[in-house]
Structures are given as C-alpha cells and as structure tokens.
Structure 1
Amino acid sequence: MRFASLGSGSGGNGLVIEAGATRVLMDCGFGLADSQARLARLGLQASDLAGIVVTHEHSDHIGGVGRLARKHKLPVWLTAGTLVMAQDLDGVAVQVIDSHAAFAVDGLEIQPFPVPHDAREPVQYVFGDGNRRLGVLTDTGSDTLHIEAMLAGVDALVLECNHDAAMLENGPYPASLKRRVGGRFGHLENGQSAALLDKLKHDKLQCVMAAHVSHKNNTAALAQRALARVLNCADDDVRVACQTAGFNWITL
C-alpha cells in the first residue's frame, strides 16, 4: 500500500491511495489539465484511477472532480449532504455513502468518518488494504472522541496543520475569517494537531505528514516543530505536503 499527494492547501487538494492494482483519488481541487499533469508527475494517468472519493463541497476539494470524472468516466463517492451542495457533477456516476459505513473499491477498504467543519456533511477517511491503514484528517476545526477512535492504530497519518494561532491572530485576514478558520468548525491549529497526534502516537505509526498548511498563517517549519516535539524526532524528519508539489509516493 502506498500514497502520494497532488498538492495540499487552500489552492487545491488531492491525495492518491494505492493498494495492489487499485488506485483511488481523494478529492480534486485542481483544473483538468493541472490534475492530469500532477498525476503524471506520480507516473499515473487519470484512467489508472478506480474513482474519486470526496470529503466535502469546498472548491479546493471538489472543484476539479466533475471535469476529471466526466472526461475519464470515473465514479465518485460522497455523502448525501455533500451531493446536495456540490456543483458540476452532471453526467457523473455518483455513489452516495453513509458517513459511518465502510465500503470497498476493489482491493481497498475505505472507512469514512464525520468531522466538525463548516460544510454540509463533511467526512474524512481511513484507507486500508487488510494489512496497513492510512488515516487522513484535514478540514476539521476540532478533535472529537470519534475522530480519535477512527484514527487509532493507523500505520500512517496525513494530519492538518493549517495555522499557527499567533500568525492567524496577527495576520491579514478580516476578523470574521479569523473566527471561521480558528473556530471549532474551521481548521486545526499546530498545537491542536500536536495534541491529537500525542493521543494517536504508537509503535506502529510509520509516517506522519503535515498537510493543508496555510501559506499566510503558518510555515512548514512551525508545523514540523509542533509535530516533531510529540514524535521526539528532528524537525526535518516530519514531512510536509506542499501546495505546489504535494509529496511523492510513500510506501507502507
């Protein structure tokens, strides 16, 4: 099992998960040509995908889903709430999922779980191949006991480190946007992410990736430092998914 990022941040998100011959894209917030170019960087074509799973309706996650899915005849999985709010899915083979029920795409088991975020019915996912499990948590404003239960025991974790509290407070956003980003239905702050990671830390955890790092209200170095303190490792040992290049394949 392996995974790689097309890019992560407010400018667009996409994560490819592969188990055997099965490859699924989680979210697509890029234009059609850009999505295809980012897939090519990973040695893939869109036709190599079994489909796209969507977390929620915000444009940096769903903006490119319709065009990619239509052109390459890819099925799309999403919650009923996300479907109500989604645009540009005409002509797409949509499959509505239960936010608490696992489903399979060929050799990949996918477990959605609900998260507190300012969208209609947002979810995040745990992906497994029967031996290894990858947990993904971005676009959530706060931790919950259910999130902790769903991510317990994962072998790898893609974890949001969206903002630094001081940078957000002193940054350029208007007060209303600062409240939204920093609120319980917004995005995780470095300290919140580190506190959650501390609860999830265990011997089998092979890789932790900081993701959805704001370019205005955070830095990669601050995110790395927060997570490295929990993992008792050097800051540079914590990887960061960037907006332009994402990250290359990581094998579990």
Structure 2
Amino acid sequence: MKLQRYWIGLLPLIMSCLFAPVLATEPQAEQADANFPLRFVYKNIPIIDHLTLYKQLESTIVIDVRSKHEYDTLHIKGALNISISNLGFITRIKKLRVQDSRQIVFYCNGITCEKSYKASDKAIKNGITNVATMDLGIFGWIEAFPDAAVILGEDTVPEDRLITKEKYQLHLLSPDEFVAKIDKSVMVIDIREHYHRDPVILEGVTRVASSDKVLGLLRKAKNNQQTILFYDAVGKQTPWLQYLIEKIGVENYYFMDGGVKAYVEAGLPID
C-alpha cells in the first residue's frame, strides 16, 4: 500500500516530465509563425526560409518583384527583377519556366510586404509549378547575408553601409510631427506609385515623384541644403530609399511613420 501511495505521489512529476517537451515546443512553433504575420493570410503559399535559400542560391531562380528602382538600389545577388506591378508579369514568368525548370523564389521588402506572396499565388493559379516565397525580404536578407546582396551596384554590402533599425527610426516622424515640420524651406515628396495615390494629402506643398524620379530631387535638395520630407502609402517604401539618400549625401531628411495610412488614421485633413 505504501509503495502504491509512493507511485501515486510521483505521478504528477512523471506526467510533467513526459509532457514538458511538448508543452515547450508548441509556443515556440506559434512564435515562429507570429514573426511572419502574412503566413496566416496566405496559408497555401509555399515558403522557403532565408537560410535554405542562401545555401542553394546558385541553383535557384530568385525574382525580386519590387519596382526597378527599388531593385537597382538593393537586391539579392543574382536575382532577376520582374515587378509584380507589370502587366506582363505572368507572361514573363511563364517564358522563364519554359526555359528553366529550377525552383522560382519570389521576394520583396520584408515580413509585412505582400508582393512576394501575391507573386507566388498568381504563379500557382496560372499553372506555374515549383515556386515559393522567401518572406524575410530584402532588409532581413542583407542583415543576414551582406555578402550575397547588391547595394547601388556594389557586389557586397560593406558592414559600415548597413542601415540599422535604430538609424532608420531616427528619421521617422509621426504624421503630426511631419506636418508641423513643413514650411517654405523644406521639400515634401510623395513617393507613392500613381496607382496608390488615393487619398491625396498635403496637395498644396507636395511634389509627386515616384521611385524612378526621386534621384533628381535628392540632388537638387543637396545642392540647396534643403530638408526633405518623404511619405508613401504605408511606410514600406522608405527603408530602401534611405540607402539612396545616404549615397547621395543628403543629411536632413525624414519619413512619415506609417505613411498616408497613419496620416488618415490620425484624423489629419485630406485634400
């Protein structure tokens, strides 16, 4: 009887030891997915992690689906640029597949950028096989593998050229702070593409210049020693733009944190 009581007393401890590994791994798995929130939205999209892609980079067709100017500023070494905004996107991917049977991997800016997921989704729906998304994006990639990235034509990204999150955040202004900084001496630039320019804000003071038109304005602002204020749709285009700004040598520049979406949510006036 004593022996029976002894084993009964040990039962909770034995059970906790048996199930501890299971209980410990479940939250870790959930956390891994939580780091990539769009995986819950695009559940059927095949994913390739950045470590695997790095190992098989030379045997993979890597496609940057962002704009040409974003690609020219920063991209994965060896990647092709086929913008998902291009009407001939699927036609070009199909031609590529006919010529090459290797896996096609799409990527865009980062973990909250939908373009790479949408690219895989479009490809699959159009009968293109062996595709996947690398959803860490270019900014996570250059931090992990600067030796396999190209920045403004340089084949590797020197460590001192990497822009940290802290440095990026130093140039962020809330929508209210952004508006308060506007005066006659600053240049305000809307870098949204034409199909994203709704709603229109700050119309009386803003210059409209999509990504391929920014370079000339940067040079002008540098010559005039002007401060530049940039905004986009939701704050996703500005991180890559900072590399170009630093390259040109403009010192005084700021981005609207969260873009036009945050501006509207703050209740600021719409033109």
Same fold (TM > 0.5): no
Higher strand share goes to which structure?
A: 1
Higher helix share goes to which structure?
A: 2
Bigger relative contact order (CA 8 A; separation at least 6): 1
Task: State the TM-score, normalizing by the size of structure 1.
Answer: 0.30
Q: Computing the radius of gyration over CA atoms, which structure comes out larger, 1 or 2?
A: 2
Task: State the TM-score, normalizing by the size of structure 2.
Answer: 0.28
